[in-house]
Chains A and B, each alone.
Chain A
Amino acid sequence: MLVSDFMSTCTAECTEDTPVEQVYDLMQKCDHGFVIVIDSKSHRVPLGLVSEHSICEQIVGKGRKLRGLTAGSVLDGRIKKVADTATAEECSTLFESTKLAAVVVVNNKGGLCGIIPSSSFDAIKAAAHIGLPAVQSHIGGREFSEFPGLRWVH
């Protein structure tokens, strides 16, 4: 079982100079609520994540004004990357060892190819814990509504 088998390929991306308002619009396009900040559209090397939580922390929590802020101002650079050839166990260990909002999946060139939100892993573990039927979060971009027991995750 490789990471590439269950990662979400729905990736909203932007560069560091993207205004926060545009980043927020991008955020609404993916169920997982993350926008991945990349170095450039050609290389797509992940630099960090923007989420509602990071916006809360970097803007509201610090009393900053929205105008003029860009993705680079509000991104959370504490990301972990895994290769698309990593196993589910390796990914799970990564979530356990460091409290991450998501793990970014990269290809052999270091370019972005997917994302695994911690909520997906939480949902899978919750389902396993109470014995719900096998469920998944984002495999191949399929929606939660297609699977029992996880509609509440998002």
Chain B
Amino acid sequence: MLVNEIMTEDPACCTGQTGLQEVAKMMVDNDCGCIPVVDSENSRMPIGMITDRDICCRAVAEGKNPLDLTASDAMTSTVISVTPETKLEDCLNLMEDSQIRRIAVVDGNGALCGIVAQADVAMSAGDHKTAEVVQEVSRATA
């Protein structure tokens, strides 16, 4: 299976200048916890990722007013990405090694074209698979 078979295509994204309030609204509107940050709406080259954790940390832990901050103030600048033709297993191994739950998918020009989340992989597996693995785990730990 390849990444392009389960990725979310054309995900909602923002630029570094987008205010955190708008980013938070995008997360609510798109029912997600991560918004890719791109250099511009035209080129859509990813420059970072911002999560609800990033926003929460700035607003609560650091006591900053999130209404005064932009995506570039809170995002993680390191962008780890795969292509649509990447094997799913390789993609998941990369996510595991990088300890991330979501990964950007870029096309041949390096422009954002999708995103893969752990939940996307889970949705493509059936319920019976979940129950099977849970049962295996129970036997392994008994």
Binding stretch for chain A, among B10-18, B37-45, B92-100, B104-112:
B92-100
Interface size in chain A (residues, C-beta < 8 A): 47
A56 partner, pick from B24, B129, B131, B136, beta carbons under 8 A: B24
B135, A1: Cβ atoms closer than 8 Å:
yes
Chain A residues with Cβ under 8 A from B101's Cβ?
119, 152-154
Name the residue of chain A whose CB is nearest to the CB of B31: A99
The number of inter-chain residue pairs (CB within 8 angstroms) is 142
A129, B96: Cβ atoms closer than 8 Å:
no
A66, B60: Cβ atoms closer than 8 Å:
yes
In the complex, per-residue mask of A83-103: 1 if CB is within 8 Å of any chain B CB, else 0: 000001100110010010000
Q: Does A9 contact B (CB under 8 A)?
A: no
The answer for the CA separation of A89 and B131 in the assembled complex, in Å, is: 6
Q: A6-B137, A60-B21 are in contact. Are A20 and B130 (CB under 8 A)?
A: no
How large, as a class, is the contact surface on chain B?
A: 35 or more
Binding stretch for chain B, among A10-18, A40-48, A104-112, A133-141:
A133-141
B98 partner, pick from A52, A127, A136, A152, beta carbons under 8 A: A152
A130, B127: Cβ atoms closer than 8 Å:
no
Q: How far is the CB of B134 from chain A (nearest CB, A)?
A: 5
Name the residue in B27, B61, B118, B134 with the highest tally of chain A Cβ atoms < 10 Å from its Cβ: B134
Chain B residues with Cβ under 8 A from A99's Cβ?
31
Q: Which residues of A from 48 to 88 have beta carbons under 8 Å from B?
A: 51-53, 55-57, 59-61, 63, 66, 88
B130, A121: Cβ atoms closer than 8 Å:
yes
The answer for the CA separation of A21 and B125 in the assembled complex, in Å, is: 38
Q: Does B122 contact A (CB under 8 A)?
A: yes
Binding site for B on A (CB under 8 A): 1, 5-6, 20-21, 24, 33, 51-53, 55-57, 59-61, 63, 66, 88-89, 92-93, 96, 99, 118-119, 121-130, 134-136, 139-140, 149-154
Binding site for A on B (CB under 8 A): 20-21, 24-25, 27-28, 31, 33, 51-53, 55-56, 59-61, 63, 66-67, 88-89, 92, 95-101, 118-119, 121-125, 127, 129-141
